[in-house]
Amino acid sequence: MPRFAANLSMMFNERPFLERFAAASQSGFTAVEYLFPYDHPAELVGETLRAAGLEQALFNLPPGDWSKGERGMAALPERKAEFRASVETAVRYGRAIGTPLLHMMAGIADPRSQAAQAAYLDALKFAADATAAAGIGVVIEPINSRDMPGCFLDDFERAAEIVTQVDRRNVGLQFDIYHRQVMRGDVTTALKAFVPLIRHVQVASVPDRHEPGTGELDDFRVLRLLEELGYQAYVGCEYRPKVDTVSGLSWLAATGERPAANETPRDEV
């Protein structure tokens, strides 16, 4: 089975953000991901990560004003200067934390707009070149329009075409099993087709986005396929625990993983 990274934006959020690292480690995870670290000093996040004995799998570039519904700036031509400044911020955080990947969110824009298309390609090339010097990769992720109405990048085939068109060695595809199933289904066929481009995978059950194994898709079959296809990077657990994080971790037993994740962390006893 693949290696799993706890998503600290969704998991262990019974605790403040910086306390989630130790909780993930105590629950048996060796890596974490999350949406954004920018509310905390970069050095502090990096120190917290390392103190917990964890690796960083991925986090996102700044999205704009999240509280106002912004979900990235890459496809917004009028936000070009702000986007480029956000890349500099993300690279600084990426260096301090030690992430191998940054996810570039597309934003809310009409995918048919030529201006949005041109802005997105320009943004991706800029981000790729800026992060390459730091040894960091960039991934793009198709997101379903049910969860994020109006998302510019809402199609896996188009995302794969963009990765190929940009032709940067440090640019790849982020394949979210949940989003693919909601969009089009046909998950295993898509994985087989896109695996040469995939740098990061995320998992959650469909339709409620809870723990793997609680929805309509055989998540464990999909995870076994990843292993068969030679995928070696982390799988991010980007799901909302149905009840609480720790009690919901019993799904790991079905993957063959039996870490301390199935037990209550010491400071919760």
pTM for this entry: 0.94
What is the structure's pLDDT at 266? 34
pLDDT band at 256 (very low <50, low <70, confident <90, very high): confident
Q: What angle do CA 82, 180, 246 make, to 5 degrees?
A: 85
Helix (H) or strand (E) holding 237, with range, is: strand 234-237
Tell me, yes or no, if 19 is annotated catalytic. Answer: no
Where do the domains of the chain lie, and which CATH numbers do they carry? Answer: 3-268 (3.20.20.150)
Residue 263 reports pLDDT greater than 80:
no
Tell me, yes or no, if 141 is annotated catalytic. Answer: yes
Q: What is the pLDDT of residues 5-42, one digit of tens each?
A: 999 999 999 999 999 999 999 999 999 999 999 999 99
How many angstroms separate the CA atoms of 255 and 49, rounded? 25
Cis peptide before 207 (omega within 30 of 0): yes
Across the strands, what pairs with 60?
103
Mean pLDDT of the chain, nearest integer: 94
Q: What is the pLDDT of residues 73-110, one digit of tens each?
A: 999 999 999 999 999 999 999 999 999 999 999 999 99
pLDDT band at 233 (very low <50, low <70, confident <90, very high): very high
Average pLDDT over residues 100-124: 98
SS3 state at 199? strand
Instruction: Give the chain's end-to-end CA distance (angstroms, integer).
Output: 30
SS3 state at 49? helix
What is the structure's pLDDT at 197? 98
Options 19, 141, 161, 228, the catalytic residue: 141
Token output for 63? 């999205």
Options 43, 211, 227, 238, the catalytic residue: 238
